[in-house]
Structure 1
Amino acid sequence: MARSLNVLQKSLTMSAGSLMVFFTLLAYGQASSYRNISGLSNSSITLEASFISPNVIEVMWYHKTTDVSEVLLAKVQNGRLSDKLSDRYMEEDGGRTLKIPNVSKNDSGVYKAEAALLDGTILPPVLYNVTVYDPVPIPDVKHQVKRIGDQYNVTLQCSVPSNRSDISYTWKYRRGDKEYQNLNDTGGTIWMMVPVNQLDMEIMCTAHNPADQKNISTRIQDGEEEVPKRNHEISAGIIAFLAVMVVVAVTVALIWTLKKRISNRRGQGNQSNENENLSSPVQDTGTQESTFIEISLGKTKYKPKEDAEENWSQPF
């Protein structure tokens, strides 16, 4: 459906452009005698007005687009330039040839060459329908192969990076070193039914407009049959499941490692507190002596102060 809409849009665009050119030429009164000239952006185009009579004394070149009035580009009298819109336009051969370098899309439109003879006769004008195109990008080609019985259904798709309505596609094929053969199918997507024993071939797609073309080739060989879509879906599901499982396992391992480190730090803190509580109290280091009890092998010895010893040693 989308492809049909693109084709319809392209046809309408081309038809509208053709009608605009037709009415422009009709305004000149010479709608059936114009020459189509295709130019490529940033290149040069040459317009030649082959007036047969040698008695031409005046040649004038005009440019008319579909939205502006007629503009005089150059006027040559008796082989010499007498009027010129810009140095960009170069006239040769007594004004019978007009060259326009480095063209752009703004140079598209209808050009007219008029000539006058020595006796004042005005020759019928020569009209040119000039269209300037952008270069064609390098195309990309893809193919799919699916076996149906004893034949292969081959789908080929050729496209350019930008969606442009001025580009058309043609196809060729060859086997081995033989010459390319034209395929009757045109368009960006084509389908072929190929016998099983004739699948090995080279396909060339050419993307082109009236001013430029680019081509690309692809080779189709045996053994390229498309894997059923369901198998692709199953494989993708298995890969996704395994990826989820790996993420879950890594997450669990990280959480377990973190908890273990926290538990070890808490255990070391509790043991340090217990050691502090079990340490010996600090003894008084004062200069005065005090009585104390020595405990050794279950015997208790009492040591009185010196003044007490002296009192016990004196008689009553």
Structure 2
Amino acid sequence: NQEHLIQVIGLLQHSVELLSNVSFSSSVQEADWYFKDKVKIAQFENHQPKFYKNHFEGRLELHHNGTILCIKDLRMEDSGKYTVHFIVSDTNYVKEFILMVYEPVPVPSIKIILEEQTSHWCNMSLNCFVPSNSSTFNYSWTYKHIKSVQELRTIGDAIHISLNYSWGMEFQCIVGNPADQKNVSKQARCYVTGDTTKRMYFFLIPLLMIALSFLVLWKIRKK
């Protein structure tokens, strides 16, 4: 029954322990560990551990009378179902585990793309890139503005924002899976570009001409 399986998360090339979380008033006579129901990988009997030759060779340890199995140097193919059968006072007990091994999250990067710019606003997209082919990553975003940190309610590796010229904001992309997490931050600011500057000049020149005309007329009348 899936709901009785103990879920365990592991990180590639790290270690993990399968904890049976059992305590017996009598000592454990025997503990047999299986991988995917068929492959016997370890045994604890007569107070001695025994390990079988398979792809786990040299990577297993038994602790606490065989009730805890430690797997070292995890590999992706270690993911799967593990079962342990205990014999205590001639009574059988069974515990089942599902181990999921995940890759470490690579360091992400943020790319800012200017999509549209007006005389007052910049519309941008921020894309969070992870150098991996894995699709198991989760993305979340936060931003910092005037010493306050807010979480963006968005799902996915990209966000769309609008900034005016007086704003400068720091955005953080957080990438994770159930076993690991990485983050990266980047400043986003709306800058006046050459085209925008030209438009401002075209707008200011007529105003300056009008002001200059009034100044000349005022001096003529004063004479």
Instruction: State the AA in 1 paired with 2:161.
Output: M
CA distance in 1, matches of 2:42, 2:100: 20
Aligned length: 190
Contact 1:113 1:127 (C-alpha < 8 Å) held by counterparts: yes
2:173 counterpart of 1:201:
no
Check whether the contact 2:165–2:191 (CA below 8 A) recurs between aligned residues. no
Structure 2 unaligned runs (5+)? Answer: 197-223
Partner residue, 1:136 = 105
Equivalent AA in structure 2 for residue 58 of structure 1 = E
RMSD of aligned residue pairs (Cα, Å): 2.6
Match in the other structure for 1:57: 29
* Alpha-carbon displacement from aligned partner over 1:214-260 (angstroms, at most 9, x marks no partner): 211110123267979xxxxxxxxxxxxxxxxxxxxxxxxxxxxxxxx
Name the aligned partner's letter for residue 153 of structure 1. Answer: N
State the TM-score, normalizing by the size of structure 2. 0.74
Using the TM superposition, give the Cα deviation of residue 136 of structure 1 relative to its aligned residue in structure 2, in angstroms: 1.7
**Which residue pairs with 1:183 in the alignment?**
152
Classify the secondary structure of the residue corresponding to 1:32.
helix
2:138 maps to 1:171: no
Indicate the structure whose relative CO is greater, using CA pairs within 8 Å and at least 6 residues apart: 2
- Cα deviation, 1:108-167, whole Å, max 9, x if unaligned, reads 11111222221x2212x2222112222222112112343468654331111112332122
Structure with a larger share of its residues in strand: 2
Can you give the 5+ residue segments of structure 1 that lack an aligned partner in the other structure? 1-29, 229-316
2:63 is equivalent to residue 95 of structure 1: no
Secondary structure, in 3 states, of the residue corresponding to 1:186? coil
Higher helix proportion, which one? 1
> Equivalent residue for 2:186?
218
SS where residue 72 of structure 1 aligns? strand
CA distance in 1, matches of 2:121, 2:110: 22
Secondary structure of 1:162's match? coil
Alignment of 1:222-233 (within 5 A): 222-223=190-191
Take 2:32 and 2:122, find their aligned partners in 1: how far apart are those partners? 62
Q: 1:137 to 1:227 in 2, by over 3 A?
A: farther
- State the TM-score, normalized to the length of structure 1: 0.54
Name which of 76, 82, 87 aligns with 1:105.
76
Work out the CA distance in 1 between the residues paired with 2:195 and 2:76. 47
